[in-house]
Chain A
Amino acid sequence: MDVMYFLELAVNGGLAGMMYALVAMGIVLIYKSSSVPNLAQGALVMMGAYVVLMFTGMGVPVWAAIPLTMVAMFLVGVGIERVALRRLAGRPIVMILMMTLGIDIFLRAASLTFWGGSGRNMPLGISDAPLFVGKLLVNRAYAVGAAVTLVLFVVFMLFFRTRRGVVLRAISDDYTASWSVGISVERGVALSRALSSIVATTAGVMWGSVQTVDQSLALLLLKGLTVAVLGGLDSLGGAVLAGLLLGIVENVASGYLDPLLGGGTRDLVVAAVLILTVMVRPHGLYGRRDIERI
């Protein structure tokens, strides 16, 4: 048992896991406000990365392209909510899930139709030079991504203490009650869509710089979903912590299991964590336990 190998796997896994939390936070924000489990988040992440590249392709510098993309993705998100999801409110959850899956398929195919599927690089300017912390070799792009996640998380935590943030918390608590005290639930849902699109764009940019920008970005959905469920579907802090946990477990387990089982254990570990979470503690680490009424 090589301690350094283990530590390296754990640290890099944890950092990558923090980046999974970026995807998960997008899911959590939408679930909190409208109790829609957004299976299209992976496609939104991918689309965010593509739109950034579209803007940079038009000659806009990256630092300006990212906020522009956030605005564009916000419009996409609000459009989805207005056109598709609002009409399904109150319908059985299978239809809502299917709707988000349909949106996922549509957005993925539409992105590939307009922008093509060949892999492209995200020009973020993170150097490829190795980064050593003590003796540990740390992936620089993951480290930047994890730092961005933490910053976003702190910003969100501060935001939820402002007046508007309290409104959002009220809506996620009980939207009928919020309605009756005069809170505009529609506006709140739109606001949470905005926050979610900020996260989705960030996730697209960060993951695009780690790997290339292609359709595999949409596959982050499974990991994001697992992190969101493990943390509790309505808890942002849970998402960050669960991301850290899942990243470590996934990287360490696949680091040791891959040579034994012939590869591909990464998704297996993620799926196993998802099943175990749902079986043992469906409300996740910090989620609210719902009491079902007949």
Chain B
Amino acid sequence: MFYRQAGIYHTSYAADRALFPIPFERWAVAALLLFALSAPWTLSSLQLTSYVRPWLIWTGAALGLNLILGWAGQFHFGYAAIMGIGAYASVHAARRGVPWEIAVILGGVAAAAIGSVFAFAALRVKGLYLALSTLAMQFIMDWVISHVPAISGGVSATLQAPAMKLLGQAITSEAGKYYVVLGWTLFVTLFMLNLKRSALGRALVAVREKDFAAAVIGVQSFQYKLVAFAASAFIGGVSGAMLIFGLYQAVTPEQFTVNVSIELLAMVIVGGLGSIIGSFFGAAFILLLPGQMNALIAWLASLMGLNIGVEALAHIPNMVYGATIIIVLLIEPMGLGKLYGNVRNYLMLWPFGYVKK
């Protein structure tokens, strides 16, 4: 119906390797891009600042985590700490007068340097034990960030972030911040899309499936693990910087605790391991669903004349958040991206589904 596809007949290698081989999807992507570019005029400023911008930033971070978890198959329970390092490094650099673009890249580089330390844990152990050691590293980084005055500015201090500047121009309008954030998320998305069809991406997948077997066919598994940790930490660090400059405007250690790591993991798992569009869905689901559900429950309760305490209402979003993870894992362990893929596969040849068999 939508796809108007009767089999896939590529006539050149270039067509085979295109990012979006199906014409309908090319048009859909173009339409979405147009919509994204016109969002400051079509969406209200409340929607833009409290829904769309956080969603874009967290999607960028979730894609970075997906690189290490979904592609390279290595656990990372300390991704929030990595984002924190990027955020602090870039804020400090920007406060010292480093140009904003370079400060953000410096944040990414600092995060990549420290994030590579996690890879040395991956050299030694894997699976559950890697998860535990990265979890422990998250706690240690939390402690270091909050207890070293040179980083956080003292225990429970808040560092004000300077305004974003592109080429010396300060960006203070909401629309401007939105465009910067959109640009970063599009960049990460493009990188991940291209990773799928590059040698690096295939090597990472080989390492994920079985690192010994990858080593046997000549993929240096440790080297690729290191690259994966460093690349995903770079994305995480810059996303952390975007989070501070583009959303929070100030940085405190509480923004990067272990709960945030778990939230990011939830985004990746709910979205689907190794699925790019899934990361967009997952971030939206985890960010928006609990709040919306809470509003719905409060509304239903008032409709039926039930009286739910303030304290109960405060904890219901967390309950919904936990339940979301459980339900998605039960229904479709490969996440929302897989669900989308199922629908797409079904519609691809519809109504001529018998052609497939």
Interface residues of A (CB under 8 A from B): 37, 83-84, 87-88, 91, 93-95, 97-99, 101-110, 112-114, 116-117, 222, 225-226, 229, 261-262, 264-265, 267-268, 270-272, 274-275, 278-279, 282, 292, 294
Whether the pair A102, B329 counts as a contact (CB closer than 8 A) is yes
CA distance A104 to B210 in the complex (A): 30
Residue-wise interface mask of B (282-326) relative to A, using a CB-CB cutoff of 8 A (1 in contact, 0 not): 000000000000000000000000000101100111110111111
Whether the pair A225, B140 counts as a contact (CB closer than 8 A) is no
Q: CB-CB < 8 A to A93: which residues of B?
A: 127-128, 131
Instruction: Determine how close the nearest CB of chain A comes to the CB of B278; give it in whole angstroms.
Output: 14
Whether the pair A113, B210 counts as a contact (CB closer than 8 A) is no
Whether the pair A106, B132 counts as a contact (CB closer than 8 A) is no
* Selected contact of A113 from candidates B129, B132, B319, CB within 8 Å: B319
Q: CB-CB < 8 A to B128: which residues of A?
A: 37, 93, 97
Q: Find residues 110-157 in chain B having any chain A CB closer than 8 Å to their own CB.
A: 121, 124-125, 127-129, 131-133, 135-137, 139-140, 143, 146-147, 155
Q: Find residues 262-276 in chain B having any chain A CB closer than 8 Å to their own CB.
A: 262, 265-266, 269, 273
Whether the pair B147, A264 counts as a contact (CB closer than 8 A) is yes
Top 6 nearest A-B pairs (CB, nearest first) are A106-B322, A102-B325, A105-B322, A109-B318, A271-B139, A109-B319
Residue-wise interface mask of B (314-344) relative to A, using a CB-CB cutoff of 8 A (1 in contact, 0 not): 0111110111111001100100000000000
A101-B262, A109-B321, A294-B210 given; name 8 further pairs at CB < 8 Å: A97-B128, A105-B325, A106-B323, A112-B311, A117-B311, A278-B124, A279-B125, A282-B125
| A101-B133 contact, Cβ under 8 Å, with A88-B333, A278-B125 | no
Q: CB-CB < 8 A to B136: which residues of A?
A: 226, 271-272, 274-275, 278
Q: CB-CB < 8 A to A98: which residues of B?
A: 265-266, 269, 325, 329
CA distance A294 to B216 in the complex (A): 11
Question: Is the CB of B69 closer than 8 A to any CB of chain A?
Answer: yes
Q: CB-CB < 8 A to A109: which residues of B?
A: 315-319, 321-322
* Selected contact of A262 from candidates B133, B147, B330, CB within 8 Å: B147
Q: Which of A109, A222, A274 has the most CB of B within 10 A?
A: A109
CA distance A230 to B326 in the complex (A): 29
Question: Is the CB of B15 closer than 8 A to any CB of chain A?
Answer: no
Q: CB-CB < 8 A to A271: which residues of B?
A: 136-137, 139-140, 143
Q: CB-CB < 8 A to B324: which residues of A?
A: 102
Whether the pair A102, B326 counts as a contact (CB closer than 8 A) is yes
23 A-B pairs whose Cβ atoms sit less than 8 Å apart in the complex: A88-B329, A91-B333, A93-B127, A93-B128, A94-B75, A95-B329, A101-B265, A101-B266, A102-B329, A103-B326, A105-B262, A105-B321, A106-B322, A108-B318, A109-B319, A110-B315, A113-B319, A225-B132, A226-B136, A270-B139, A274-B132, A282-B124, A294-B213
Q: CB-CB < 8 A to B155: which residues of A?
A: 262
Q: CB-CB < 8 A to B321: which residues of A?
A: 105, 109
Q: CB-CB < 8 A to B330: which residues of A?
A: 83-84, 87
Instruction: Determine how close the nearest CB of chain B comes to the CB of A37; give it in whole angstroms.
Output: 5
CA distance A83 to B326 in the complex (A): 10
Whether the pair A278, B318 counts as a contact (CB closer than 8 A) is no
Q: CB-CB < 8 A to B210: which residues of A?
A: 294
Nearest-neighbor residue (CB-CB) of A225 within chain B: B132
* Selected contact of B143 from candidates A116, A268, A274, A294, CB within 8 Å: A268
Question: Is the CB of B212 closer than 8 A to any CB of chain A?
Answer: yes
Nearest-neighbor residue (CB-CB) of B124 within chain A: A279
Whether the pair A279, B143 counts as a contact (CB closer than 8 A) is no
CA distance A262 to B132 in the complex (A): 26
* Selected contact of A104 from candidates B312, B316, B322, CB within 8 Å: B322
Q: CB-CB < 8 A to B326: which residues of A?
A: 84, 99, 102-103, 106
Q: CB-CB < 8 A to B319: which residues of A?
A: 106, 109-110, 113
Q: CB-CB < 8 A to B322: which residues of A?
A: 102-110
| A278-B143 contact, Cβ under 8 Å, with A98-B266, A106-B322 | no
CA distance A87 to B131 in the complex (A): 22
CA distance A226 to B326 in the complex (A): 25
CA distance A127 to B210 in the complex (A): 57
CA distance A270 to B324 in the complex (A): 31
| A261-B147 contact, Cβ under 8 Å, with A278-B132, A278-B136 | yes
Q: CB-CB < 8 A to A229: which residues of B?
A: 129, 132
Q: Which of A87, A97, A229 has the most CB of B within 10 A?
A: A97
Instruction: Determine how close the nearest CB of chain A comes to the CB of B337; give it in whole angstroms.
Output: 14
CA distance A83 to B329 in the complex (A): 11
Whether the pair B140, A275 counts as a contact (CB closer than 8 A) is yes
Q: CB-CB < 8 A to A91: which residues of B?
A: 333
Q: CB-CB < 8 A to B315: which residues of A?
A: 109-110, 112-113, 117
| A274-B318 contact, Cβ under 8 Å, with A94-B269, A105-B325, A294-B210 | no
CA distance A272 to B140 in the complex (A): 7
Nearest-neighbor residue (CB-CB) of A292 within chain B: B212
CA distance A262 to B125 in the complex (A): 33
Instruction: Determine how close the nearest CB of chain A comes to the CB of B197; give it in whole angstroms.
Output: 24
Instruction: Determine how close the nearest CB of chain B comes to the CB of A229; give it in whole angstroms.
Output: 6
Nearest-neighbor residue (CB-CB) of B328 within chain A: A102
Q: Which of B124, B136, B146, B321 has the most CB of A within 10 A?
A: B136
Nearest-neighbor residue (CB-CB) of B319 within chain A: A109
CA distance A279 to B309 in the complex (A): 47
Nearest-neighbor residue (CB-CB) of A215 within chain B: B315
Nearest-neighbor residue (CB-CB) of B321 within chain A: A105
Instruction: Determine how close the nearest CB of chain B comes to the CB of A269; give it in whole angstroms.
Output: 10
Nearest-neighbor residue (CB-CB) of A279 within chain B: B124
| A113-B329 contact, Cβ under 8 Å, with A105-B322, A262-B155 | no
Q: CB-CB < 8 A to B317: which residues of A?
A: 109
Residue-wise interface mask of B (201-223) relative to A, using a CB-CB cutoff of 8 A (1 in contact, 0 not): 00000000010110000000000
Instruction: Determine how close the nearest CB of chain B comes to the CB of A215; give it in whole angstroms.
Output: 9
CA distance A274 to B323 in the complex (A): 29
Q: CB-CB < 8 A to B266: which residues of A?
A: 98, 101-102
